Amino acid sequence: MKELRLVLVEDEVVTARNLEYVLKSLNENISILAILQSVSEAVNWFENNQTSYDLVFMDIRLADGLSFDIFKKVNINRPVIFVTAYNDYAIQAFKNNGIDYILKPFDEQEIEQALAKFENLTKPSEQELDGKKLAQLLDNVNAGLKSYKKSFLVHYRDKLVPLETAKIAWFYTSNEIVHAHTLDDKQYIMEFTMEQLEQQIDPALFFRANRQFIVNRMAILEIEFYFNGRLSVKVKPEPTEHILISKARVPAFKSWMNN
């Protein structure tokens, strides 16, 4: 059997060792060419090794940034299997050579299945992915990610507590910090951006009113006409700032409210 040359991009030493052990136990012909721990280290390695590898296993959040930054700086012309603790980067991953998306903590079966996908996709040609199979794989993965978060694990004093998504009245961002305000008037700091939250919450329940607010349908009391064709959304509990819908967003908001 032909040697399979892999590169691991992972900043957690224990995880990298565990992944290396699992891979070699699954296929004795696997060779780990490099274990890269940062964006800068990965960029340097790939710049000097354009064609010497077959497959990349890559974490997403690295010590000096997101691994997607690597693709902006250097050409990676081989398939990538993303292994991460976060489920909110899947779409972006598949736009960057991704053929599979594994959530940590992973098990041996998931790694084995990912390797099998790689082998199936590369059968027609050792240099090119089968476009139809890759598109089908992406469709299947996206379909599996259509379930939305039922709760978030948030910090409260010196504890971590589950916060039910349906009980969040609105999300609000200020100074790059996102807060979740609940229907019973409590507030928690979230560890996600507004854009990441939009991918994880049910769009039938939540609407992105503007850059600062995402509102829960259940929190809306009434809607008032505002200046220049805008709408002002009244919610409970009431925030310190107006929740305004721009003129351009009004049709989408009305359609959402009517569903």
CA 169-176-204 angle, 5° bins: 35
Residue 177 has pLDDT above 90, yes or no: yes
pLDDT-based confidence at 230, cuts 50/70/90? Answer: very high
* Cβ 59 vs Cβ 34: under 8 Å: no
What pLDDT shows up at residue 241?
A: 93
Residue 172 has pLDDT above 70, yes or no: yes
What pLDDT shows up at residue 51?
A: 80
Residue 232 has pLDDT above 70, yes or no: yes
Percent of the chain predicted with pLDDT > 90: 62
Q: What are the pLDDT digits (tens) for 188-219?
A: 999 999 999 988 899 999 999 999 999 999 99
What secondary structure, in 3-state letters, does the chain show? CCCEEEEEECCCHHHHHHHHHHHHHHCCCEEEEEEECCHHHHHHHHHHCCCCCCEEEECCEECCEECHHHHHHCCCCCCEEEEECCCCCHHHHHCCCEEEEEECCCCHHHHHHHHHHHHHHHCCCCCCCCHHHHHHHHHHHHHHCCCCCCEEEEEECCEEEEEEHHHEEEEEEECCEEEEEECCCCEEEECCCHHHHHHHCCCCCEEECCCCEEEEHHHEEEEEECHHHCEEEEECCCCCCCEEECHHHHHHHHHHHHC
Q: What are the pLDDT digits (tens) for 111-148?
A: 999 999 998 887 755 444 455 556 666 665 555 545 68
What pLDDT shows up at residue 126?
A: 46
What pLDDT shows up at residue 6?
A: 95
**Could you give the dihedral angle defined by the CA atoms of residues 75, 103, 143 and 153, in that order, rounded to the nearest 10 degrees?**
-120
* Cβ 10 vs Cβ 57: under 8 Å: yes
pTM equals 0.50
Q: What are the pLDDT digits (tens) for 83-118?
A: 998 888 888 888 888 999 999 888 899 999 999 999
* Cβ 237 vs Cβ 169: under 8 Å: yes
Distance CA 21, CA 23 (A): 6
What pLDDT shows up at residue 86?
A: 84
Tokens of 3: 């040697």
Q: What are the pLDDT digits (tens) for 11-30?
A: 999 999 999 999 999 998 99
